[in-house]
Amino acid sequence: MRTYSSKTQNKKAEIKFFDRFDKGRGYDVFEPSGYEKVARYMKDEIPNKKGLLIYDMGCGSGAFTFYIAKAYRGSKVIGMDISTGCIRKARKDYPFIEFSVGDVEATGLKSNSVDVVCYTGIFHHFADFSKVAQEAHRILKPGGRIFSYDPNFFNPAFWLYRDKRSLFYSSVGITSNERLLKAQEIKRVFENSGFRMKTKIISGIKFSYVESKSARPLLTIYNFLDQILAASPLAFIIGSFILGFGKKK
């Protein structure tokens, strides 16, 4: 296994946290309808052209990779994650999809070789994801596309539960690297790395699991309120997730 080092991320903490998902349900936190909805947003912006090479970076145990492969039939979809445990689980659950262990800051892939890179909720695992953006620019073909999703700093539920300044903050179920993001930061980092970038904020992505036992009884309430938010104009500001869409110049 490759040795990982970075000034911006404690990679050992990521590996330790996610390696334990090689058993049970794996790292699978959304309901199927949630994964399908995110995949539709991706496909609406990046249409399927048969023969594409698509990498799902930070794929975890492969839950969203499966829905990407389903949406992009006829294209090759490969999942990559830093966690050997997660990749072991992904290979077991989805043997028809290719998975590999790798670091999104240094993938080892050939330059100008990939058509689409999807970042499955990983930017918020970095204090600075500039190296991730630079690596994306290196491996993507000219005109290559990126898609990402991450939790929104301005979402009230996420802020109350995951911001250290909140009285209701919980560190259960996250790594020490994690933080909430703002759309402006994602746009800025990728534009500085040579992409044309736009973002969209959405809600209505239903969760099926949360690690904190004390928070689990509230999950149904959260999903219900988030569905209401999704139908409101406020979703474009305080929705739960930031979607990123980029194109290599």
Question: Does position 1 have pLDDT exceeding 70, yes or no?
Answer: no
149/133 Cα distance (integer angstroms)? 14
Residues 6+ apart with CB under 8 A from 12: 4
Give the model's pLDDT for residue 6: 44
The model's pLDDT over 166-196, given as tens digits with 9 standing for 90+, comes to: 999 999 999 999 999 999 999 999 999 999 9
CB neighbours (10 Å) of residue 153? 19
Average pLDDT for residues 68-75, to the nearest whole number?
97
Give the model's pLDDT for residue 23: 87
Question: Does position 133 have pLDDT exceeding 60, yes or no?
Answer: yes
* Domains of the chain from N-terminus onward: 11-248 (3.40.50.150)
**Strands 76-81, 140-151: pairing kind:** unpaired
Question: Does position 144 have pLDDT exceeding 90, yes or no?
Answer: yes
pTM (two decimals): 0.94
The model's pLDDT over 77-102, given as tens digits with 9 standing for 90+, comes to: 999 999 999 999 999 999 999 999 99
Residues 6+ apart with CB under 8 A from 4: 11, 12, 15, 82, 103
Average pLDDT for residues 31-48, to the nearest whole number?
97
DSSP β-bridge partners for residue 151: 241
Give the model's pLDDT for residue 194: 98
Residue 53, helix vs strand vs coil:
strand
Question: Does position 2 have pLDDT exceeding 80, yes or no?
Answer: no
Give the model's pLDDT for residue 25: 87
188/184 Cα distance (integer angstroms)? 6
96 to each of 77, 78, 172, 226, how far by Cα in Å? 10, 10, 33, 34
Question: Does position 137 have pLDDT exceeding 80, yes or no?
Answer: yes
Give the model's pLDDT for residue 115: 98
Q: Are 145 and 245 in contact (CB under 8 A)?
A: yes
Percentage of the chain exceeding pLDDT 90: 95
Question: Does position 4 have pLDDT exceeding 60, yes or no?
Answer: no
When the pLDDT of each residue in the chain is averaged and rounded to a whole number, the result is 95
Average pLDDT for residues 11-38, to the nearest whole number?
95
Question: Residue 7 — very low, low, confident or very high, per pLDDT cuts 50/70/90?
Answer: low
Question: Residue 59 — very low, low, confident or very high, per pLDDT cuts 50/70/90?
Answer: very high
Average pLDDT for residues 150-162, to the nearest whole number?
98
Average pLDDT for residues 17-24, to the nearest whole number?
93
Give me the helices (H) in 140-211, please: 156-162, 183-192
Q: Are 129 and 146 in contact (CB under 8 A)?
A: no
